[in-house]
Amino acid sequence: MLATLRSIAESVSRQANLDSALVCFVQMVKDAMKTQCCSIYFADYSQDNFVLMATEGLNPDAVGKFRIGFTEGLVGLVAQREEPINIAFAKSHPRFKLSPEVNEEGYNAFLSVPVVHQKKVLGVIVVQQKMARVFSQDEESFLITLSAQLASQLAHAEIKEILRQDESSHQTSVLKGVSSAPGIGIGQAFVVLPKLDFKSIELLKDSDVTEQRRLFTQAVAATRKEFNTLSMTLSDSIPHEALAVFDVYQQLLDAKSLGHNVEMQLQEGWCAKSALKIVIERLISQFNAMQDPYIKERAVDVKDIGLRVLHHLVNTEHAVKNYPPNTILIANTLTPAMLAEVPKGHLTGVVSVNGSANSHASILTRAMGIPAIWGIEDLPLLQFNGKPMILDAFAGRLYISPSQMLMDEYTELQHQDNLLNNRFLAEQDSESITLDGEHVSLLLNAGLELNTEQSSAHICDGVGLYRTEAWFMQKGQFPSQAEQENWYREVLTSYHPNPVVMRTLDIGGDKVLDYFNITEENPFLGWRGIRISLDHPELFLDQLKAMLKANIGLGNLKIMLPMISGTEEVDESLALFEQAYFELSEKYPEQTIERPDIGIMLEVPSSVFMLPEWSKKVDFCSVGSNDLTQYLLAVDRANARVAELFNPYHPGVLRVLNKVAHECEQYELPFSLCGELGGDPEGAILLIAMGYRRLSMNLSSLNKVKWVLRRLNVSDMEQLLSECLAQSTAKQVLRLTRSFMLEHKLGDLFYTPK
């Protein structure tokens, strides 16, 4: 069954368009289930009905024409209930509706399952048979599994179709994602493919066979050259027999094997990449189907060769292309390195298919002030390349090939947005004080973009979170103590005399070092932050010593420990700090080594309940609301699928944040917040009302938050907070905060263009 499932899914994905994918689907399902009829209906939400999209067994002329209402017949019932229906005599069911135009009179047995993608019913699959019988449990599970597997494939096929139509009809298409950094980007798509995969290759036709053949031949030649170099480099270090594998590879590249098959596909009109994809995928499934384990293994070689040729094919295309001056960067999963590669001033927007707005790469785009959206449909990306686009990161929308009218509209909106930012900028040097005279320290979350951050030192009250790991991530190896010391001194000096809270290494989760391999099933619940530092005291001591030495003569350092979950971690960290301090004082008796304040991050729920004890041990704490939200709500912050559930306005999260403020006041422990919530004007208002007077945020949020709080009274914020804390959903909370902002004439901030 598993092999059949896989083979159906693979065959469907290989089809060039939605119609042929559906035809292939119904045919294969009918054959696999040995029935007489299989049909698929798609939901048309504009007309509230289902349309027959493909059938094997019903009247073929009804395809594309026959429609049945959402609440009609057995098809409607399956969709309404969102569960399978499996009956021996369809006609005897009270919801059966005879539809003579499809010719289904002869069928009795009826098995149907809904196709659901992201809570939405996309369609319904129906299998019918003349013989009256109930389908077996196995058959039912088979269809359910198939429907689940194909749901996203069909959803993508639908979007792919929209994109294809846009190509031929010059219509604008729109895709939805989650906004992670607000703003509007108008530009041209540039797709980055970090790890090339045949899955990301869209099947496309190209009538210029000669040119496609030339591209393919060129890529094969480059691959051969690569193999020659590889085999020469390895000839000294591996046995001669092992080098024979390169001969086999070279043979596979020969015109007689790969070349011949690809040529046939080129003749059929496929472009070089598509032809290669078809041939390699077919070869892989042929090898996989073999019994002999040795031959089966060859599938890996075929894939490897195929990917190398593909790499050269894509590179020749990309080599001539530079980043356009208004690049909208599109990636499967965006990484900080991809952002860094775009020449300065060329980046207009960012789209990441995977990941979510709370991931660290996303925080980086926010810090850079580049509009970004996350979690759009998982599509073969290359088809976007070079297309004109509008990225509306207020509404989380990506318009592909926009019309001139839309372009004009968004150019005007972008202009309005710039005007608003200029209003924030005009007050950047003013004090951050509320109307009723409360000063709120606004600090910077730094470590991501050194140059811009440092030049903005004068507009903030210091650094509330310096993410040291960001620098570690850019290096090819662990930096030495001396290197770290220089680096930290530069940072401390830039903000002096304002304080800089340096956080010790916080890797793990979605922050990986290329040179320190951590592979885990649940990285966010695994080896992260302080856990790694305590398991590697040599690294931790090095970092602490570098910080202490960098602080000599400056005195504006504070040290913060990430991901603390238990008292042992506090005690062990403090003991290692004592050791670092003692060793340095001994080594440099002539120097005065200052004792900086040591604080902890409140990110793990358990930490919130330990404040009575920990307030006696540490000098301050700072709430990491990103992780605290993630762990309180059990929502992986980097997972696009559950991104909608990640909501710091959840009353449960707000009540915890309120509790922290009250307890810190009670135990006289200085406290602040450095998660993204503090940089959101509505979040900042609620936090100030709770008693937070130190908020640390990205540079791009700082002026905005300052501008907002200068226009409000704390007493009004407190009134709003007490209402919000009494709500039971995040939606209700946000409704209240939104109307509060409108009431206080701050509606311009929510100027959402579309």
Q: Does 366 bind ligand PEP (CB under 6 A)?
A: no
**Residue 190 neighbours by CB under 8 Å, 6+ apart:** 321, 323, 324, 327, 328, 329, 330, 342, 385, 386
Nearer CB in complex with ligand PEP: 580/632: 632
Residue 356 CB neighbours (<10 A):
25
The least distance separating ligand PEP from the CB of residue 637, rounded to whole angstroms, comes to 8
User: How many residues does this entry show for the chain?
Assistant: 754
Q: Does 682 bind Mg ion (CB under 5 A)?
A: no
Q: Does 624 bind Mg ion (CB under 5 A)?
A: yes
Q: Which one-letter amino acid corresponds to residue 236?
A: D
Tell me the C-alpha distance between 527 and 532, whole Å.
Answer: 6
Q: Are residues 216 and 313 in contact, defined by beta-carbon separation less than 8 angstroms? A: yes
Q: Which of 86, 200, 626, 737 binds ligand PEP (CB under 6 A)?
A: 626
The least distance separating ligand PEP from the CB of residue 629, rounded to whole angstroms, comes to 8
Tell me the C-alpha distance between 598 and 577, whole Å.
Answer: 9
Q: Does 528 bind ligand PEP (CB under 6 A)?
A: no
Q: Which of 114, 462, 499, 624 binds ligand PEP (CB under 6 A)?
A: 624
Nearer CB in complex with ligand PEP: 387/467: 467
Q: If we measure between CA atoms, which residue out of 698, 674, 695 comes closest to residue 502?
A: 674
Q: Which of 35, 99, 556, 625 binds ligand PEP (CB under 6 A)?
A: 625
Q: Could you give the strand order of the β-sheet that contains 372-374, starting from the edge strand earlier in sequence? A: 173-176, 397-400, 388-392, 184-192, 327-331, 347-352, 372-374, 178-181
Q: Which of 392, 417, 627, 682 binds ligand PEP (CB under 6 A)?
A: 627
Q: Does 627 bind Mg ion (CB under 5 A)?
A: yes
Tell me the C-alpha distance between 55 and 25, whole Å.
Answer: 9
Q: Does 678 bind Mg ion (CB under 5 A)?
A: no
Known catalytic membership, residue 496: no
Q: Which residue has the tokens 């919801």?
A: 95
Q: Does 636 bind ligand PEP (CB under 6 A)?
A: no
Q: Identify the active-site residue in 38, 360, 621, 650.
A: 360
Interacting positions 675-714 with ligand PEP (CB under 6 A): 675
**Residue of minimal CB distance from ligand PEP?**
624
Q: Does 355 bind ligand PEP (CB under 6 A)?
A: no
Nearer CB in complex with ligand PEP: 33/334: 334
Q: Which of 334, 674, 684, 699 binds ligand PEP (CB under 6 A)?
A: 674
Tell me the C-alpha distance between 636 and 646, whole Å.
Answer: 8
Q: Could you give the strand order of the β-sheet that contains 49-56, starting from the edge strand earlier in sequence? A: 67-69, 49-56, 37-44, 120-129, 109-117, 85-87
Q: Looking at 56-64, 311-319, 623-631, 710-718, which segment touches ligand PEP (CB under 6 A)? A: 623-631
Number of residues that bind Mg ion (CB under 5 A): 3
Tell me the C-alpha distance between 499 and 444, whole Å.
Answer: 10
* DSSP states along 349-372: EEEESSS-TTSHHHHHHHHHT--E
Interacting positions 456-495 with ligand PEP (CB under 6 A): 465, 467
* DSSP states along 252-295: HHSIIIIIHHHHHHHHTTB-HHHHHHHHHHHHHHHHHT-SSHHH
The least distance separating Mg ion from the CB of residue 465, rounded to whole angstroms, comes to 9
Where is 305: in which H helix or E strand?
helix 293-319
Left, alpha or beta for 452 (phi > 0: left; psi -120 to 50: alpha)? alpha
Interacting positions 404-443 with ligand PEP (CB under 6 A): none
Q: Does 639 bind ligand PEP (CB under 6 A)?
A: no
Nearer CB in complex with ligand PEP: 392/506: 506
Is the N-terminal amide bond of 589 cis, ω within 30° of 0?
Answer: no
Known catalytic membership, residue 674: yes
Q: Identify the active-site residue in 271, 460, 621, 674.
A: 674
Q: Looking at 364-372, 620-628, 640-648, 728-736, which segment touches ligand PEP (CB under 6 A)? A: 620-628
Query: Where does this chain bind ligand PEP (CB under 6 A)?
Result: 465, 467, 506, 603, 624-627, 674-675
Query: Where does this chain bind Mg ion (CB under 5 A)?
Result: 603, 624, 627
- Just list the catalytic residues: 360, 674
